[in-house]
Structure 1
Amino acid sequence: MKKIFKITGIIFISSLLFYCSDSDNSTNPDPDPDPDGGGEPVEAVTTLINTLNVPWELIWGPDDFLWVTERNGKISRIDPDSGKQTEVMEITSVAQVQESGLLGMVHHPDFNTNPFVYVVYTYDNGTSGLLERLVRYRFENNALSNETTLLDNIPANSIHNGSRLLITPDEHLIMTTGDAGSANSSQDMSSLAGKILRLNLDGSIPNDNPTPGSYVYSYGHRNAQGLVLHPNGSLYISEHGPSSDDEINRIEAGKNYGWPDIRGVIDTPNEEAFANTTTTVESIYNWTPTIAPSDLIYYTSDRIPEWKNKLVMTVLKEQQVIALTLNADGTEVINEETFFDRKYGRLRDIAISPSGRVFIATNGTSYQDNSNTHSIIEINKIE
């Protein structure tokens, strides 16, 4: 029998971001060694930069720089040691309205030969309102140029835009889309809203997609903002629920994940009746009340041993990092641990370097905070 895992909590009271300081360490020396082996005490968390306008995607680039999208339309490279920010593109057609704007980003896996960067953003088409667009840019001379549209007219809204991206080892582009505030569109196979999409890198539809001629890889999603490929090949998403049932889902090709007819696991008569009419997959983990899960990675490094071989997720509403242990075949979450509870504000995104360095993009205390005061912090060790 499936179990529903729940946590309890209350809506947080807005608080100022707090960062460890040199004076803190001077009065309470840290006996732990530097993760790089230098033997000197280090702060658990350091601030790399604190002048960003709502950072949304944060990834470690093939050039060994951090790449970040800001929801107002800016794409930058950031030196992971000095924090120096270099803008490589400002997309002027971006429409930033509440949760919309410049969102997901990923690099071509063979970046040296094909220096392409794929991004998702929302725009106002002037007639029917907000839409979402998946585009590709070419990186040369320290700038992005030559916008090529791969997929357009994706439903968008000021809420529920999904937009996380990854590229699989067989070079397929995976993209999450939200229901754009129209829950029933998630069950509509003619709509790209509320889906996991699978594309070739040129924007065409793969011949082996579950439904011939369709980008849709799975459906019945509300708003997935975390997306990761496990080393074993399994695809996982973190997904926002309404007032209940934030979810971790293990994605299977062609399957229905139930929204809006099923929330979390199937445990009501109406949900059972709906499940009998379609091939529905239950979530593998749930949170009620909701916590607002965001980015999701799988951590394999020894650098932070508390997270090794676990799904690690940033959390917005509850302002945490959560580490999830999977069972041997990856079909269940068997343990949950929380870190940095409400110490650094809303945590949007997480990036990992090849050596296991961990960087997190913070989002202040409210999704409506569009100030230029958001941060990237580095997690050096667990406090």
Structure 2
Amino acid sequence: MNKLFTFLGIVLITSMLLYCSSDDNATPNPDPDPNPTDATTTLISTLSVPWEILWGPDNFLWVTERNGRISRINPDTGEQIELIRIAAVEQVQESGLLGMVLHPNFDSNPFVYAVYTCQSGNNLLERLVRFTYANNTLSDETTLLDNIPAAGIHNGSRLMITNDLHLLMTTGDAGNTSLSQNLNSLAGKVLRINLDGSIPADNPFTNSYVYSLGHRNPQGLVRHPNGNIYSSEHGPQNDDEINRIVAGANYGWPEVMGVINTPAEEAFAASTTVTESIFNWTPTIAPSDLAFYTGTAIPQWTNKFLMTVLKDQKIVSLTLSDDGNTITEEESFFTGTFGRLRDIAISPGGRIFIATNGDSYGDTSATHRIIEINSIP
């Protein structure tokens, strides 16, 4: 009998750890070949956990690393130019310097927006800031939004500037599932912010930055040419999601995962309007950044979402239905070739770059690279 209780206890503890595990946890890929064919080119291989890569108006790649460094990287030579190293950044597990976006009118408004975690007493908090760029330097740090709950896991932190010049920011539940349904908390949300840090008057909740709620850990955010906003989001051990982000919508976490298909989820949805995911994965794959490819250099990917994946170590292409409400096709590429894939950047001319995050979760000493995808082998 004692052996039976011991066995059941082990099973219970293991299940709890899995449910609360970090989204990035993955089986190591022991020896990825950085250039298996001419289909890819390694641009740089000396980065410390790159998190955001994006194509700048100067035709350089702009990169954040979780240790606090922001750089410009020449996409043809790999030359890295450090712009700033933010001293206040606190890098713990999955936290650190995370998302970044540049002002769309960069020539007249040379502003760089970034999110990082910092220490406040015994707590980690997330901070949204703006820098001014000039002569390969970022300066004049201005805090736009502070005291956002953060933790070693589930920080969200993807940024996007909309066509009407509002900043969208994803936040995770910071490991506290109760925050996602709490409208008084900025955690587990998509936030909508004026570029000066104030609250837009037309936000769906009065005097609140909250644009949507009920999120667990959304790490991808992209505007489709049809005008819709889509996000990729980590589930626990089930129901990684693709969501269409709508003002005022509640995506259900932690009461609903993916679509409403259990008695408990049905009971919650009976009293709360829940917006279901348009696509989900069980078991989880750990989706990270989401982009939309309109280029023609790789015609197999034209007019499809491209998503980098951590746990399953691959690029996924997703075909969207004509009405924008369903994913109709999923394909996987480069599975296990480069280890964990964190982010993707696409140039206006259709060049595609990915950022790798090592071969196993938590390995900050591994080789972290930016790789250009030239073709599909």
* Residue 122 of structure 1 pairs with residue 117 of structure 2: yes
2:139 & 2:32 partners in 1: Cα distance?
A: 36
How far apart are 1:373 and its partner, in Å? 2.4
Measured against aligned partners, the alpha-carbon deviations of 1:124-156 in whole angstroms (never above 9, x if no partner) come to 01x241000000000012100000000000000
After TM superposition, what 4+ stretches of structure 1 lie above 2 angstroms from structure 2?
10-14
SS at match of 2:197: coil
Taking structure 1 as the reference length, the TM-score comes to 0.91
Measured against aligned partners, the alpha-carbon deviations of 1:309-334 in whole angstroms (never above 9, x if no partner) come to 11110000000100000110110001
Residue of structure 2 in register with 1:69 after alignment: 64
Residue of structure 2 in register with 1:211 after alignment: 205
1:248 & 1:168 partners in 2: Cα distance?
A: 19
8 Å contact 1:59–1:68 — kept in the other structure? yes
How far apart are 1:339 and its partner, in Å? 0.3
Please show how residues 185-196 of structure 1 align to structure 2 within 5 Å. Answer: 185-196=179-190
Unaligned runs of 5+ in 1: 1-9, 25-42
How far apart are 1:372 and its partner, in Å? 6.4
1:192 & 1:290 partners in 2: Cα distance?
A: 25
What percentage of residue pairs aligned between the two structures are identical? 65
Measured against aligned partners, the alpha-carbon deviations of 1:65-105 in whole angstroms (never above 9, x if no partner) come to 00000000000000000000000000011000000000000
Please show how residues 140-179 of structure 1 align to structure 2 within 5 Å. Answer: 140-179=134-173
SS at match of 2:271: coil
Aligned pairs, number: 353
SS at match of 1:222: coil
Please show how residues 300-311 of structure 1 align to structure 2 within 5 Å. Answer: 300-311=294-305
Residue of structure 2 in register with 1:378 after alignment: 372
Q: CA RMSD in A?
A: 1.1
* Residue 353 of structure 1 pairs with residue 359 of structure 2: no
Selected match of 1:324 from 310, 318, 328 = 318
8 Å contact 2:29–2:336 — kept in the other structure? no
1:13 & 1:374 partners in 2: Cα distance?
A: 14
Residue of structure 2 in register with 1:108 after alignment: 103
8 Å contact 2:28–2:360 — kept in the other structure? no
8 Å contact 1:53–1:72 — kept in the other structure? yes
2:91 & 2:342 partners in 1: Cα distance?
A: 17
SS at match of 2:267: helix
Measured against aligned partners, the alpha-carbon deviations of 1:222-258 in whole angstroms (never above 9, x if no partner) come to 0000000111110100000001000000011101000
8 Å contact 1:17–1:364 — kept in the other structure? no
**Aligned residue identity for 1:46:** T
Unaligned runs of 5+ in 2: 1-24
* Residue 242 of structure 1 pairs with residue 236 of structure 2: yes
SS at match of 1:87: strand
Please show how residues 35-114 of structure 1 align to structure 2 within 5 Å. Answer: 43-114=38-109
Measured against aligned partners, the alpha-carbon deviations of 1:269-313 in whole angstroms (never above 9, x if no partner) come to 110110111121000001011000000001101111111111110
